[in-house]
Amino acid sequence: MAKAIINTNDLLHEIQNLSIKPTQKLIQNKDYYDLNRPQTKSIQDLAKAHIQSFNFMIEEGLQKGIQNLKPLEFELSTKERIRIQIIDSAIFPPIVHKDSQSRTVHVYPSECRMRGTTYKGKLHLTFSWSIDGKMQEIIEEAVGEIPIMVKSNRCNLEKLTKKQLVQRKEDADEFGGYWVVNGNERVVRLLTAQRRNYPMAINRKSWKDSGHLFSQYGISIRCVRTDQVGSNMILHYLTNGTARLRFWYDRQPVYLPLIMVLKVLMDVSDQYIFNELVKGKQTDTYFKGCITNMLRLVQDENLYTSKQIKKYIGERFRAKCHCPEWYTDEEVTDYLFRECVAIHLNSNQDKFNLLIFMTRKLFAFAKGECAQENPDNPMFHEIFLSGHVYFTLLLERMSIFLASVKQVIDKLLLTAEKSGNRCALNSTILKKALNAKYSEITRPLEYLLTTGNLRSRSGLGLQQTAGITVMADKINWQRFVSHFRAVHRGQFFAEMKTTACRKLYPEAWGFMCPVHTPDGSPCGLLNHLAEMCQITNYQSTVRNVLELLSSAGMEPLDCPVYIDDTYLSVSLDGKIIGYLKESLAAQVVNELRTLKAANKEKVPPTLEIGFIPKT
């Protein structure tokens, strides 16, 4: 084949003699370089969910999480009882060291990129401590520095204009949502998780291997507190017609008979438990026989009251729970249930009602009266946001930090005793012990962002410990932007041989883009959010919804009305709140959806209204 020969000199001569000189000014809008205009909203919304999740941690999440942290309680050799607790925290914007000389105290991301450092701010914690119940001096300490998300409310770029951003060597439309770690821009992946606070009916063959008589039927629920800390529970159906609850403590599974759990939560008679369970199923003789059998099995262990069962469980879990020595067996059981059983609910009454509902659903599912729910369907998914992953790890590290302080205190007091200077615990020794372990809090956070590997005792509810973060490649604009809209199903599913987890379901319409997924191994696992899809970070108040439901005919749980099979259970954020006549349900649901669509104050626009009619 003949090759065309191009004379370079002739080509240059033709370009120079063109009547119209090529220039970028003719193809650019003059508004493109107008730095006096506000930032483009559509661009700023790209990382909105990431930034809001980090801001949630700063504004309310951290304070809620600290209130739920287990305090450090122990006894000294002098029999004095010590209690140490974190009561407050504060995160500050990145600034230069106090001894440095600079034009401004603020540190900006561009400087960290050029110097290859991490964009981080100081973390302050406030400790309260007591000796035998007598409060001592409050201690406030700077525990170190933690990475700060760019454009969050602790970032020095947050309120800068286009012109000011360019002066700080940033893009005029910089939208943030990432961390600068060792000079690199890192993004925490959006990962899918099981929908929170909803009991799902699942058929899983591997559950048969959980123990003797276990079947493939179970009701799984992922409970999430207001501080975004979550835990899983599974109510298993056994082939002998009984049920057993499984939950996890320190990543170790715990199995307890259902009736034991119900009696721990509420000190009520067997007749009360029986009546609550058979509500709406009075004609189901098999179900009633199974309940009677489960009640009898507990009595066969000579366990009749709530106190006896608490003592029975507490004796067996005292060593695992690491509670203070002076805790009774009953207090150990209360602590275990508070930390592991339906943690999204505050009262034992609400936890009891939820387990009652789950039991009814479990037996209906095992008998084929309830449809199986598909865990691969996006309807049963939610998104793990970057700020929530970061925040829950920070809370876990605070808890581990408190537990490790006791060893340092014991060592310091023992050293003083051996040297002949026997002394009691005071603020100086406590500050020294705290200072020795501050790196337990800050170091794992930077390690997570640098490597993408998660060092966690609980696993934070994630199904993977690697690949949590990725480098935000700036090969081109579309590639960079896609990192903030990408949603990954999880590393575990990439190794599965089945394709069910990769399918595109109709329920994904409007939430996931049907075409934006890569070819090859991540196909169907790495998806991207649709343009109009928004992720909520703040939970709206639902007090008005309760009033609406009550006025529409919902019967409260303690109503004297006879509840038969013509009633449906009503659940709000994982809390059973009442019963509604099946004949009224469709009308009530339509009214709520109308109010939601009209954006009325009584029904928040983020409220999801589900209706499962009997078929």
Tell me the pLDDT tens digit for each residue of 209-222: 999 999 999 999 99
- Stronger pLDDT, 90 or 603, i.e. the higher one: 90
Query: If you average pLDDT over residues 506-511, what whole number do you get?
Result: 93
Tell me the percentage of the chain whose pLDDT exceeds 90. Answer: 67
Structure tokens at 25: 């000014």
Encoded amino acid at 415, one letter: T
Max Cα-Cα span within the chain: 103
Q: What confidence score (pLDDT) does residue 5 get?
A: 59
Beta bridge partners of 399: none
Question: Cα–Cα distances in Å, from 418 out to 189, 221, 423, 433, 434?
Answer: 52, 53, 11, 18, 22
Q: Please state, in angstroms and rounded to a whole number, the distance separating the CA atoms of residues 192 and 187.
A: 16
Helix (H) or strand (E) holding 125: strand 120-131
Helix (H) or strand (E) holding 498: none
- Stronger pLDDT, 416 or 64, i.e. the higher one: 64
Candidate from 4-8, 385-389, 426-430 with smallest mean pLDDT: 4-8
Q: Please state, in angstroms and rounded to a whole number, the distance separating the CA atoms of residues 574 and 610.
A: 13
Find the Cα–Cα–Cα–Cα dihedral 461, 227, 575, 457, rounded to 10°: 30
Find the Cα–Cα–Cα–Cα dihedral 440, 462, 337, 235, rounded to 10°: -160
Q: What confidence score (pLDDT) does residue 343 get?
A: 95
As a whole number, the mean pLDDT across the chain is 90
Q: What confidence score (pLDDT) does residue 197 get?
A: 94
Q: Give the chain's domains with CATH numbers.
A: 42-193+384-461 (3.90.1100.10), 195-378 (3.90.1110.10), 543-597 (no CATH)
Length of the chain: 615
Structure tokens at 99: 């001894």
What DSSP string runs through 505-549? PGGGTTTB-SS---SSTTTTTEEEB-TT-----SPPP-HHHHHHH
Nearest-CA neighbor of 269 among 246, 299, 312, 244?
299
**Phi-psi category of 599—alpha, beta or left, where left has phi over 0 and alpha has psi -120 to 50?**
left
Nearest-CA neighbor of 261 among 356, 170, 181, 173?
356
pLDDT bucket at 21, cuts 50 / 70 / 90: low
Cβ atoms 313, 333 nearer than 8 A: yes
Q: What is the pLDDT of residues 95-116, one digit of tens each?
A: 998 777 778 899 999 999 999 9
Res. 6: pLDDT tops 60 = no
Res. 577: pLDDT tops 90 = yes
Q: What confidence score (pLDDT) does residue 479 get?
A: 92
Phi and psi of 304, rounded to 5°? Answer: -120, -35
Q: What confidence score (pLDDT) does residue 561 get?
A: 84
In 322-418, where does DSSP find H-type helix? 329-340, 348-366, 386-418
Q: Please state, in angstroms and rounded to a whole number, the distance separating the CA atoms of residues 305 and 142.
A: 49
Q: Please state, in angstroms and rounded to a whole number, the distance separating the CA atoms of residues 567 and 555.
A: 9
Q: For 526, how many CA atoms within 13 A lie in the half-sphere containing its CB?
A: 15
- Stronger pLDDT, 503 or 8, i.e. the higher one: 503
Q: Please state, in angstroms and rounded to a whole number, the distance separating the CA atoms of residues 314 and 274.
A: 25
Res. 544: pLDDT tops 70 = yes
Beta bridge partners of 127: 86, 139
Structure tokens at 98: 């106090």
Q: Please state, in angstroms and rounded to a whole number, the distance separating the CA atoms of residues 152 and 433.
A: 33
Q: What is the pLDDT of residues 26-59, one digit of tens each?
A: 556 666 667 888 888 899 999 999 999 999 999 9
Tell me the percentage of the chain whose pLDDT exceeds 70. Answer: 95
Q: What confidence score (pLDDT) does residue 392 get?
A: 93
Residue 58 is classified by DSSP as: I
Q: Is 267 helix (H, G, I), strand (E, B) or coil?
A: coil
What residues contact residue 578 under an 8 Å CB cut-off, 6+ apart?
A: 549, 550, 554, 555, 556, 557, 559, 569, 570
Encoded amino acid at 213, one letter: L
Encoded amino acid at 194, one letter: Q
Phi and psi of 29, rounded to 5°? Answer: -75, 140
Helix (H) or strand (E) holding 577: strand 575-581
Q: What is the pLDDT of residues 421-446, one digit of tens each?
A: 667 788 888 999 999 889 889 999 99
Encoded amino acid at 211, one letter: G
Res. 24: pLDDT tops 70 = no
Q: Please state, in angstroms and rounded to a whole number, the distance separating the CA atoms of residues 330 and 309.
A: 9
Question: Cα–Cα distances in Å, from 308 out to 249, 312, 316, 330?
Answer: 22, 6, 13, 9
Cβ atoms 549, 568 nearer than 8 A: no
Q: What confidence score (pLDDT) does residue 490 get?
A: 85
Determine whether 433 is exposed, middle or buried from the number of CB atoms within 10 Å of its CB (0-12, 13-18, 19+): buried
Res. 1: pLDDT tops 50 = no
Q: What angle do CA 522, 497, 372 make, to 5 degrees?
A: 100
Structure tokens at 221: 């629920």
Q: What angle do CA 378, 594, 197 make, to 5 degrees?
A: 35
**Across the chain, how many H-helices and E-strands are there?**
19, 20
Cβ atoms 201, 399 nearer than 8 A: no
Candidate from 3-12, 62-71, 165-174, 302-311 with smallest mean pLDDT: 3-12
Res. 165: pLDDT tops 90 = yes
pLDDT bucket at 310, cuts 50 / 70 / 90: very high
